[in-house]
Structure 1
Amino acid sequence: MIRSMTAFAAAERATDGGTLAAELRAVNHRFLEIGLRLPEELRALELVLRERIATRVSRGKLDFVLRLRSPEGAGTLQLNDALVAQLSALSTDLSARFPALRTGLTDLLQFPGVLQSRAVDPAALQHEALALLEDLLDGFVESREREGAKLAQAIGERVDAIAANAAQVRELIPLIRAGQRQKLEARLADLAQPADPGRLEQELVLWLQKLDVDEELDRLDSHVKELRCVLKQTEPVGRRLDFLLQEFNREANTLGSKSVDVRTTNIAVELKVLIDQIREQVQNIE
């Protein structure tokens, strides 16, 4: 399926360490270029993220942004209830032995381990980030395929127009040859010195051969079939289409250079216009 290189996708995922929010956008590029912006907690994932993206995307300039929003209350301190319970039991025992012993709240809170901040498991957070990336890539690829379907339709319409113009040239060629033969015979009839009929026939055949475009039309038909097949392929085809359009343009140029009739000249110009329109669409195909 044809895929566009321009696309955008966004996704979020709630985790124990906070909410992960990711965005992935892409524009046209000859190769694959990936830019990453990550929170400090996930810097270690950079290489893995690049590899995961590259398995699903082959061309385009991509910008991947990953943010981590801390959960509510993440910055507050919490009591270590188990430790406080142990200290309470010890305090009761020690108070019976030392009645004059007094412990202040400040001293209690300063005891190591009594107050704790909420910790985030790095491995769990990385696992959630990779899962979020897969969801994001699913949406991103779907977006590319939707845009690609529109591009394929536009290209298909122009390919149909190219095929129709080539068929029109085939219909005109016999008429043009007959007309050129009549013109040449009329000019020869005006000559003061009669020419050798056999020689004239040879010269006429050679001249008409120079105007023959059957091979160009056959190749053009072959390119049309190939392009239609390429549009149905599932792997990235942007570079293949670039090469194929060069072949299209070569045949159109040859048709124009061999043309001796305004009708075929106009068709050659129309072919070049259609080819350029297809090339504009292909520039956005992965």
Structure 2
Amino acid sequence: MTRASTSPASRMAAPSSPLASMTGFARVAGDQGPWRFGWEVRAVNGKGLDLRLRLPPGFEVLEADVRTRTGQALTRGSVSATLAATREGEAVSVRVNEAALQSLFHAVKTSAERLGAPLPGLEALLSVKGMVEIAEVEESEEDRRSLMAAILTSFDRALRELGAMRAREGEALRAVLTDRLDAITALVVRAERLPERSVEAVKARIADQVRVLMEAAALDPDRLHQEAVLAVTKADVREELDRLTAHLAAARELLYSGGPVGRRLDFLAQEFNREANTLCAKSNSVALTQIGLDLKLLVDQFREQIQNLE
């Protein structure tokens, strides 16, 4: 009796939540006061979640929050996030010490008149140490907090865009993986329907082999009977087909449920491969061996695509 079906009715209706690829890219820009900043976030496949973060000097305080937000938004993938920030307008203030400059000018003027020397230019006077003070423009604590908050909000948006791209790719992968499962199901159905793998066919074939051996040599009939029973048992692939059917149902359920199911699907792919190997080892016909080999090829393709899933 056929235990697997490729009819549309056997498929699940609509996925309950999206799948996510581990690859994606997002670029988001923002501004706050005189600051202009931008995030660039890239993600590729990874066994776990690995974040490589690049922050400009003075923005290291953001690292802990960025890592926390990344861990909340993503489960797996090798992620790189880079922040670029520039300040527009004057970043420094210049102040001339007017009182000191005036005193110096009068002193130099008096000396020049007494000595009959020319007066030095303003540039020479300003070059005297202490005449000009240059300092970085100081931001208030409130402005600094607002800037950091705006940058983190921008990073959240980058994560959402990255997640949206990963979800789009994940849905495309869901379609590819479903096609692979349909093809595997079709092979299981073909194996189920092979007339040469039925217990009766196996018994008949072994009975013929036993008869030939009995005619060729004097062998113990009881011993031959035991060996024949054992051979029939080993040649039966009923358990393998049942397990493949169960694994197919579990894989479809994972694809339907969505979310970070990559690791569990990879485990099922290993189980698919194990059953395919056993099917080939126990095969009693060319047709069943070919099905086993085709099954191994499809399982390899299935597992290769799974490596892209979160």
Tell me the equivalent position of 2:194.
172
Distance 1:116 1:214, change over 3 A: closer
- Give the superposed CA RMSD: 3.1
Deviates more, 1:115-124 or 1:153-162: 115-124
**CA–CA distance in 2 between the matches of 1:204 and 1:219?**
25
**Partner of residue 246 from structure 1, selected from 270, 275, 287:** 270
Q: Which amino acid aligns with 2:76?
A: R
- Tell me by how many angstroms 1:2 deviates: 1.4
- Does residue 1:206 correspond to 2:230, yes or no? yes
Distance 1:21 1:257, change over 3 A: same
- Does residue 1:149 correspond to 2:149, yes or no? no
Percent identity, please: 37
The answer as to whether partners of 1:9 and 1:136 remain within 8 angstroms in 2 is yes
Distance 1:206 1:55, change over 3 A: same
Distance 1:220 1:117, change over 3 A: same
Matched length: 257
- Tell me by how many angstroms 1:188 deviates: 4.2
Q: Which amino acid aligns with 2:238?
A: D
Gap runs ≥5 in structure 1: 80-103
Tell me the equivalent position of 2:3.
none
The answer as to whether partners of 1:17 and 1:125 remain within 8 angstroms in 2 is no
CA deviation map 1:209-236 (0-9, x unaligned): 2111111111100100000111122431
- Tell me by how many angstroms 1:181 deviates: 3.8
Tell me the equivalent position of 1:229.
253
Gap runs ≥5 in structure 2: 1-17, 96-121
- Tell me by how many angstroms 1:150 deviates: 1.3
- Tell me by how many angstroms 1:117 deviates: 4.3
- Does residue 1:23 correspond to 2:40, yes or no? yes
Residue correspondence of structure 1 range 99-118 to structure 2 within 5 A: 117=137
**CA–CA distance in 1 between the matches of 2:165 and 2:74?**
12
The answer as to whether partners of 1:74 and 1:118 remain within 8 angstroms in 2 is no
CA deviation map 1:90-147 (0-9, x unaligned): xxxxxxxxxxxxxx9x99xx9999x994747210110101110111111000010011
**Partner of residue 11 from structure 1, selected from 24, 28, 31:** 28
- Does residue 1:52 correspond to 2:69, yes or no? yes
3-state DSSP of counterpart to 2:81: strand
Residue correspondence of structure 1 range 84-99 to structure 2 within 5 A: none
- Does residue 1:267 correspond to 2:283, yes or no? no
Distance 1:188 1:39, change over 3 A: closer
**CA–CA distance in 1 between the matches of 2:59 and 2:92?**
22
The answer as to whether partners of 2:45 and 2:77 remain within 8 angstroms in 1 is yes
3-state DSSP of counterpart to 1:11: strand
**CA–CA distance in 1 between the matches of 2:207 and 2:54?**
76
- Does residue 1:32 correspond to 2:56, yes or no? no
**CA–CA distance in 1 between the matches of 2:75 and 2:166?**
12
3-state DSSP of counterpart to 2:257: coil
Q: Which amino acid aligns with 1:144?
A: R
With normalisation by structure 1, the TM-score equals 0.79
Distance 1:187 1:243, change over 3 A: closer
Distance 1:116 1:49, change over 3 A: closer
The answer as to whether partners of 1:7 and 1:26 remain within 8 angstroms in 2 is yes
3-state DSSP of counterpart to 1:232: helix
CA deviation map 1:175-201 (0-9, x unaligned): 665544444344444415798988866
Residue correspondence of structure 1 range 69-84 to structure 2 within 5 A: 69-71=86-88, 73-75=89-91
Tell me the equivalent position of 1:122.
144
3-state DSSP of counterpart to 1:65: strand
Q: Which amino acid aligns with 1:38?
A: L
Tell me the equivalent position of 2:302.
278
Q: Which amino acid aligns with 1:2?
A: L
Tell me the equivalent position of 1:215.
239
- Tell me by how many angstroms 1:173 deviates: 4.8
